Structure 1
Amino acid sequence: MAEGNWDAWSCIMLLVVAALLWLMLNWMKAVRLALKLPGPPAIPLIGNALLITDHTKLQELGRTSYQEYGKLMRVWMTVFPLFLVQAPEDVQAILGSQKHTEKISLYRLLHNFLGEGLITSSGKEWQTHRKLIQPSFHISILEEFIATFSDCAQNFLEKLRPTGPEGVNITSFVNECVLDILHESVLGISVKQKIEGLSSKDSPFRKGEVLMQYRVTRPWLLFSWVYRLTNLAKREMQQKNNLTGFTRRVLEERRRKNQRDAEVTRTEDSEKKPRKCLLDYLITIGEKNPSFTDKDIINEVCTFMLAGQDSVGAAAAFALFLLAKHQDVQEQVVEELDSIFQGSNRAPTRLDLNAMRYLEQCLKEALRLYPSVPLVARRLGEDVNTGKHTLPAGCEILISPFAIHRLPHIYPDPETFDPSRFSPENIKSRHPYAFIPFSAGPRNCIGYKFALMEMKTMVSAVLRQYRLLPVTGKDEVTITYRITLRSKGGIWVQLHPRTPRQHA
């Protein structure tokens, strides 16, 4: 018996040693490559970690990295090298492949904020959940959410007031509208509704805090056993418990409501269907697939609620800011809206949103200049050849939409706002991986169509009622970020009521 135990322990020890040697070999391969590549100056042991707190340097790096360092550069996260890939063809080789879908180790720092949903999960779990959830984002289902988008946009407009030259910080209004949309379309809780004491106004999703940057700039906190000893970890865990507890209560109440609605429909043969939310579709997935548990549903809901806030809110606010600065572009958008609605104040339909082609070009150009997520990352599943160099399997890759969207040989005069870049003919002539605000490939943002429809609804609602003008002294933005880009001090515009046009 003792001999059998010894044999078992020997096998385990051999496996552990083999795994450590494999990891060490991959690290050494990555280090050898990093020492050959150019990159920003690094501090011993800390590497380039402090860059994450210097937003000015990060912006400069994003604008000039290709010219200074070429299509492949290295950065150091303490003693671990990461590689920034900037050529669209190399980005395609990574993002476009099923072999490189695993997220890098730093994403685990987001688990307490975003949950372990589609954004942060990897491997078989991610593949299974993506396959199960993808049908819920079919355009026929997304169409059901347009009424919610429109109702929340109308509520947003009712809070706005005409301004003088001093303008208004529109950021908070936009963010509140996005949160209202998410609470109703994801959780099924409207602004005017309270379900069993659960109100969107008291939702913990309005109070999220990200501590990832704090940990990255203090390398000792990257060790989970050290971090767990801090008050920050306790605060973050309390936040996670608040989010999951609230979501679990909504999930339970939503199940009861769906059962009541089904009974009413059966007994009264009602033709009026209640609005469905994304949580309803996840509940159905769980009923058909027992492996998709309540814990999975809660994780995915937390991911959608948190990831959809800053990203869409920032993108819509930046778009309004750019339209205020470029009156000629704003006028073309208004002419398009005028041709669609013909002076009517009705809510938009899916066909209306589809017809907002020039507005979509403007939104995409805003996302080019200010991509909501400025950095995505992957761990390579196999070697990737980039021409001069080969990126070894297991190494960690960074891809910056902010930098790629400013490549001057792809986007001449890259800092200029020019929606014509996204005309059908210009899109055809450009590499498909030169514009990646929603990532790309098998791990692209599952909700990108939802986000575009949401932004079109919000921005078109504002432009149908107000003419936007810039605010003197606040007509430039200073970019800052936590995970998503944002403008330090908010985004300011003037709001002037539009005069209705005459129609034949």
Structure 2
Amino acid sequence: MTFFQALEKSSAVELYTYLTLILVCGLLYIFSDYLKICTLAFRLPGPTAYPVIGNCLDIARKDLISREMAQAYKNYGPLARVWIFVFPMFVVFDPNDLKMILSSKKHTNKSMFYKLLHNFLGRGLITSSGHKWSSHRKLIQPSFNIAILEKFIDTFTDSASSLIDKLPKEETILNVTEYVNNCVLDILNEAVLGVPVKSVDKKEMEQSPFRQGKVVAPYRITHPWLLFNSIYKLTDAATAELNQKKQLDDFSRKMIRRRREILKTLSPSDRRCLLDFMIEISNENPDFTEDDIIDEACTFMLAGQDSVGAAVAFTLFLLARHQDHQAKCYHEIERHIGTDCSKPPSAEGIRELRHLEACIKESLRLYPSVPLMARKIGEDVRVGKYNLPSGTEIMILPYATHRLEHIYPDPERFDPERFGDGAPHQNPYAFIPFSAGPRNCIGYKFAYIEMKTVIARVLQNFHLSPAPGKEEVQPIFRMTLRARGGLWVKMTPRKVVVS
């Protein structure tokens, strides 16, 4: 008797039982990977998770999460788990384990949670995966070679000089964060969009949606019912986010049209911007559309603002607290680029600011601008005694990895010599402020040159010292690392500094 003949002779109860079994088996097959991952999650240590909402309440407490991260390796070992709603994620801390994941082209897909950024960053290099990411990376990478990047030093210098002009001319205590963020946005306006800081279009740029952008993804993660698009799209937050995305797209299209016209008459000696390179890529590669240009422009503008701004502000704050390293940086600046602020520094001079670069790196170790990253692994990975199945969501916490005591003794101490010329070679996956491997930040060299130029300009003009009563910093977690209450520094014009 065949299966179908048996069904024909079955009673209603038997038929219902058969169909139920088929449905259950089908669901078990579909969710077998998820159940396998959940089973592993229940075996691993991690912060206390609540039914259904998991660790979402912990994530909402931005000050708590920084304290928890700093002690995570001590508390849980090299592999831990967290729950985002009903989705388990596995936190990998050790550089050797991170190397297996970050160095492999089989694990370049981003976590499903990056989809929450599509209405903010678009589908650019940060949020895309698979063929789109690899093809865009290959096309854009040549625009970030060091010879091209060093041509942006004049742009960095102009914006840094504008920052100096806006700072008070007498000794004062101020929150450097806002000043630095505006400077970085000025840099990106010219370097990405081609609008110079001294341009007549400055009023227009003040109204730029890139200056006013707001990311909603963290709010959705801490309110897990909003992870479902069918619910989220009914909210005012979704409407506001879509309106913001439309403003970003419309503004970007306007900038693209402007640069297309300018490119027709651009001479070899004129400054170029990243938009120019992407327009040329699009002209030569029809698959790289105007929508792709917009997504990548949004990625560079929005991701580049907070990350570099935070790094510069934290470095200035730390140099104010550590006078010996500030003095060493200043003498290095005197030696290699001089103190005449009317002259832009040379590329060679910026390259020679090695102690300043070490200070920036140590600042990024302590306060990485992007404190959290996530990947979806493409094949089984062995981490310690556990086998992580393909499809597992991995969380990477630079804030925690940068505090591993067996790699960085006395990890809370600011010690730029960890990155000095005589420092011992370390595992490259132990320092990951810009990620690492094939999916590292495409603009990290750009960022280092930018940060060195801006900080050097500030130190040429001001001596920094701690602001009384504001010497401590309390990091809080958003999309980028911030300091609660800002970063306050006493700034004294160099001409009134008494040696």
Decide whether aligned partners of structure 1 residues 136 and 230 sit closer, same or farther in structure 2, where only a CA change above 3 A counts: same
**1:343–1:500: 8 Å Cα contact kept in structure 2?**
no
Which consecutive residues of structure 1, in runs of 5 or more, have no partner in the other structure? 1-15, 266-271
Letter in 1 for 2:355: Y
In the comparison of the two structures, how many residue pairs are matched? 474
For the residues of structure 1 that align with 2:111 and 2:338, how far apart are their CA atoms? 50
Q: 2:123 aligns with which of 83, 104, 116?
A: 116
Q: CA deviation at 1:423?
A: 1.7
In the alignment, what sits opposite 1:38? 45
Q: Give yes or no for the alignment of 1:380 onto 2:385.
A: no
In the alignment, what sits opposite 1:205? 210
In the alignment, what sits opposite 1:220? 225
**2:110–2:129: 8 Å Cα contact kept in structure 1?**
yes
Which consecutive residues of structure 2, in runs of 5 or more, have no partner in the other structure? 1-22
Decide whether aligned partners of structure 1 residues 348 and 324 sit closer, same or farther in structure 2, where only a CA change above 3 A counts: same
Letter in 1 for 2:351: N
In the alignment, what sits opposite 2:12? none
For the residues of structure 2 that align with 1:477 and 1:65, how far apart are their CA atoms? 20
Q: 1:448 aligns with which of 444, 448, 455?
A: 444
Letter in 1 for 2:357: E
Q: 2:263 aligns with which of 231, 246, 258?
A: 258
Q: 2:57 aligns with which of 47, 50, 71?
A: 50
Q: 1:280 aligns with which of 276, 297, 320?
A: 276
> How do residues 5-404 of structure 1 correspond to structure 2 at under 5 angstroms?
23-164=30-171, 167-194=173-200, 199-259=204-264, 261-262=265-266, 273-345=269-341, 346-404=343-401
In the alignment, what sits opposite 1:268? none
Partner deviation per Cα, 1:340-361 (whole Å, 9 max, x = no partner): 1344332111101110000000
Partner deviation per Cα, 1:111-160 (whole Å, 9 max, x = no partner): 11111100000000000000000000001111121110011000110111
Decide whether aligned partners of structure 1 residues 485 and 19 sit closer, same or farther in structure 2, where only a CA change above 3 A counts: farther
Decide whether aligned partners of structure 1 residues 59 and 452 sit closer, same or farther in structure 2, where only a CA change above 3 A counts: same
Decide whether aligned partners of structure 1 residues 459 and 23 sit closer, same or farther in structure 2, where only a CA change above 3 A counts: farther
Structure 1 segments of 4+ aligned residues over 6 angstroms from their partners: 16-20
Which range moves more in the overlay, 476-485 or 120-129?
476-485
For the residues of structure 2 that align with 1:137 and 1:171, how far apart are their CA atoms? 27
Decide whether aligned partners of structure 1 residues 156 and 26 sit closer, same or farther in structure 2, where only a CA change above 3 A counts: same
Letter in 2 for 1:177: C
**2:170–2:493: 8 Å Cα contact kept in structure 1?**
no
In the alignment, what sits opposite 1:4? none
Q: CA deviation at 1:60?
A: 1.5
Q: 1:414 aligns with which of 401, 411, 416?
A: 411
Q: Give yes or no for the alignment of 1:486 onto 2:478.
A: no
RMSD in angstroms over aligned alpha carbons? 1.8
Decide whether aligned partners of structure 1 residues 290 and 334 sit closer, same or farther in structure 2, where only a CA change above 3 A counts: same
Q: CA deviation at 1:479?
A: 1.2
Q: CA deviation at 1:470?
A: 0.6
Q: SS of the residue aligned with 1:426?
A: coil
Decide whether aligned partners of structure 1 residues 233 and 343 sit closer, same or farther in structure 2, where only a CA change above 3 A counts: closer
Partner deviation per Cα, 1:40-65 (whole Å, 9 max, x = no partner): 10010000111111122211211111
Partner deviation per Cα, 1:232-280 (whole Å, 9 max, x = no partner): 1000000000000000011011101111x15xx5xxxxxx622100000
Partner deviation per Cα, 1:164-209 (whole Å, 9 max, x = no partner): 4x611111110000000000000001233246x9822221100011
For the residues of structure 1 that align with 2:297 and 2:170, how far apart are their CA atoms? 37
Partner deviation per Cα, 1:443-467 (whole Å, 9 max, x = no partner): 1000000000000001000101110
Q: CA deviation at 1:425?
A: 3.7
- TM-score normalised by length of structure 1: 0.91
Decide whether aligned partners of structure 1 residues 405 and 444 sit closer, same or farther in structure 2, where only a CA change above 3 A counts: same
For the residues of structure 1 that align with 2:41 and 2:168, how far apart are their CA atoms? 54
Q: SS of the residue aligned with 1:199?
A: helix
Q: CA deviation at 1:426?
A: 2.3
**1:198–1:250: 8 Å Cα contact kept in structure 2?**
no
Q: SS of the residue aligned with 1:144?
A: helix
Partner deviation per Cα, 1:383-409 (whole Å, 9 max, x = no partner): 001121111100100000000000011
**2:380–2:387: 8 Å Cα contact kept in structure 1?**
yes
Q: SS of the residue aligned with 1:496?
A: strand
For the residues of structure 1 that align with 2:84 and 2:30, how far apart are their CA atoms? 17
In the alignment, what sits opposite 1:498? 494
For the residues of structure 1 that align with 2:26 and 2:469, how far apart are their CA atoms? 58
**1:191–1:201: 8 Å Cα contact kept in structure 2?**
no
In the alignment, what sits opposite 2:470? 474
**1:75–1:81: 8 Å Cα contact kept in structure 2?**
yes
Decide whether aligned partners of structure 1 residues 109 and 18 sit closer, same or farther in structure 2, where only a CA change above 3 A counts: farther
**1:75–1:84: 8 Å Cα contact kept in structure 2?**
yes
Q: SS of the residue aligned with 2:473?
A: coil
Letter in 2 for 1:232: A
